Chain A
C-alpha cells in the first residue's frame, strides 16, 4: 500500500506539472487581456505537433525541438493577439468567440497537415528511476516535471525581478494607471500572449512522448485547465499553480483508489463547490490580478 501511495504521488506530480504550465499560461492571458482563451488547449496540441514534425519526422534533437516548440507556439500567441484579441478588445465576448473559431481553424490545419490519426513519437529515453520494485519514475516524465519547475521559476523571476514583469503585473492590476505611468499596454499584451502561449506550447512539446497525440487532445487539457483556474481564482498565477497541484493530486488519488470516472465527477464538484462557497477562487480577488 505504501508503494502504491508513493507511486500515486509521483503520478500526481507529473499531472500537476503539465497542467500547471497550461493553467498559468491561461491565467496570464486572462489577467492581462481579460480574455478567456478557449484555444489554449490547441496551443498545447500545437506544441505536441511541433515534436511530431521535427523530432519524429525530421529527427532533430528532442530538447532543441522543445525550445522551438516554445518559441513557435509563443509566436502563434502573438498572432492571436494581433488578429483577434487586440482588434476585439472592446467587445466583452469578442475574444472568447474568436478563440473558439481559432481553435477550429488550428484543428483543421493540423488535420490537413498530419491527418486524423494518433501520432507516434518515439521515446526520448526508456530509462526509469527505480525507487523500489513498484515505485518508478520514468525519466521522460521527470523531464516534464523539471520543465515545469524551470519554466514557472523563470516566469516568477521575470514577473518579480524585471521591468517588463513589473509592467505586466501593473497592466494586469490597473491598465489605466499603468498607461498613465507610460507603460505600453499593447506591448505588455503581446508579451503576455507570447509567454502564455509558449507555456502551453512547451507543456505539449515536452509531454509529447508520453501522451497520445491527436488533433483533439486540446479538449481534455482545456477542461482540466478551466477547472484549475476557477478553483485557484481566475487571474491568480499562484492560485493556478496551487490548484493544479491540488486537482492533480485529488484526481490521481481517486483514479487510483476508486475510479477514473468518479475522479472526473469529484474534479467538477470541487469547481462547483468553489463557485458556490468562494466564487473568486482560492487566491482570486474581486478584481483581476
Chain B
C-alpha cells in the first residue's frame, strides 16, 4: 500500500511537471513576435569532448550565418524583420546532458528550433521533443522513426550518401574489385559499415569482413597491418571519427599501402597531407567539400555565397573547416525559408511548411523528403551529394550523384545489410 501510494504520488508529480512544461510551450496561446524581437535558435551538440569536431565547428558556422542574415535584414515574419540568435548548449555527446540541455533551451531560453548532431544524444532529447512538440533536427537520420514526428534530418542523410563515393569509384576505376572496411564499433560506425557493404556489393566489388575496433583505441597499427594483409584494392575508413581517420591514414602511409582509400570524412585533410605526402593522398575520396569549390557556384546550389562563407570561416577559425562547418548553417537556410513561407516561427507551422510539397531546398539542390522505407518516416531530405577527391593537395568535387536514383536501383541490398546489422527502424 505504501509503495502504491508513493508511486501514485510520484506519477502525479511527474504528470504535473510534464503538463506544466508542455503548457509552457504548447498550451499557451502562440505568442506573437514583437517588432524586431530576436528569434532564438537552440544549438544542442557536443562542443567539448571527443565528438566536438562534429558540433563546435557547426556552431561557429551558425554564428557567421546569423551575422550575414542579420546584416541583410534578418528573418521576415509577417512583414517584420527579426534578428536571429543562437544559444549553444554543450551536451558533450552525453544523453543525460542532452536532455538537460533540451529542457533548458526549450523551456528557459524559449528557442523555436533546436539543432542537434543526434546519434547517442537523441534518446536524451526525445522525451523533451515529445512533451513540448519542439522541432528538432539531427545530422543522423538513423535517429528517425515513426514516433519522431518533430525530428527532421534536413542536411545530411548519413550514412546513405556514402554510396555516392563508391558508385563514382566503380564508374571511374572499374579495375577495383575488392574492399575492406574498418570502423569503430558504435552507433555512428555500424550504420556506415552496412551502407558501405551495400554500396560495394551494388558496384560489384567484393567485401572482406569489416574490421571493427573499440572507440577507445589509441594505436591503429595492428588494424592497418591486418587490412593491408588482406591485399584488397580499396581500404574504406567508413565514418571513423577524425581522431581515428588521421592515425589510420598515417599508418597506411607508414606501412607502405599503395591502393585506393575512401572515407566518409577527411576533416583537416591538410594535416593528413603533412603527415603523409601529397602523392600518397592523391585520389583520396570522401564526401565533404571545401566551400571554395568552383562546383558549388552552380545555379542549383542553395547556399548563399559558399566561397565567401568559407573565406570568413577560415579567417575566424584558421584550419578548422570540417564536415559540419556548413551543415547546421544550411539547415538554418531551410528553416528560414520555411518560417518565412509560413509567416510563423512556431515549430508546428515551420515543420508543416517544410514538408508541404514533399520537396525541400537542400544545399546541394532541390531534394525529396524521404525515408519511410529505411527510417519509418519521410523526414530526411535526400537528393544530390558530392563526391570529393584530393587532387594535388586540394579537395575538389568530382561529381554530384543523385542518392534516390541509387536507392531506387539498389535499395534492397541496403535494406538487407541494415537488417543484418539490426538497424532498420523496426529493429531498433
Contact = CB atoms under 8 A, between A and B. Distances in A.
A118 B222 contact: no
A123 B249 CA distance: 13
Contacts of B268: 118, 120
Contact of A255 (B213, B243, B320): B213
A168 to B, nearest CB: 30
Contacts of A15: 219
A221 B217 CA distance: 9
Given A122-B275, A216-B49, A7 B243 contact: no
B229 interface: yes
B243 A116 contact: no
Given A123-B274, A264-B214, A4 B256 contact: no
A279 to B, nearest CB: 26
B187 to A, nearest CB: 14
Nearest to B92: A116
Contact of B274 (A120, A133, A134): A120
Interface residues of B, number: 38
Given A14-B219, A123-B274, A211-B218, A116 B213 contact: no
Interface string A115-131: 01110101100101010
Interface stretch (B29-37, B50-58, B131-139, B376-384): B50-58
A141 B47 CA distance: 32
Contacts of B212: 259-261
Contacts of B254: 126, 128, 136, 138
A110 B357 CA distance: 49
A214 interface: yes
B301 interface: no
A220 B218 contact: yes
Contacts of A7: 225, 255
Contacts of B250: 123, 210
B223 interface: yes
A186 interface: no
Contact of A211 (B56, B216, B247): B247
Interface string B207-232: 00001111011110111011011000
Interface in A175-221: 210-212, 214-217, 219-221
A126 B275 CA distance: 8
Interface of B: 47-50, 52-53, 56, 185, 211-214, 216-219, 221-223, 225-226, 228-229, 242-244, 246-247, 250, 254-256, 268, 271, 274-275, 277, 320
17 contacts: A4-B229, A8-B222, A8-B225, A15-B219, A116-B48, A117-B56, A120-B268, A130-B256, A134-B229, A136-B256, A210-B247, A220-B216, A220-B218, A221-B218, A252-B219, A256-B225, A260-B211
Which 7 residue pairs spanning A and B have beta carbons closest together?
A: A260-B213, A212-B243, A255-B222, A116-B52, A11-B221, A138-B254, A220-B216
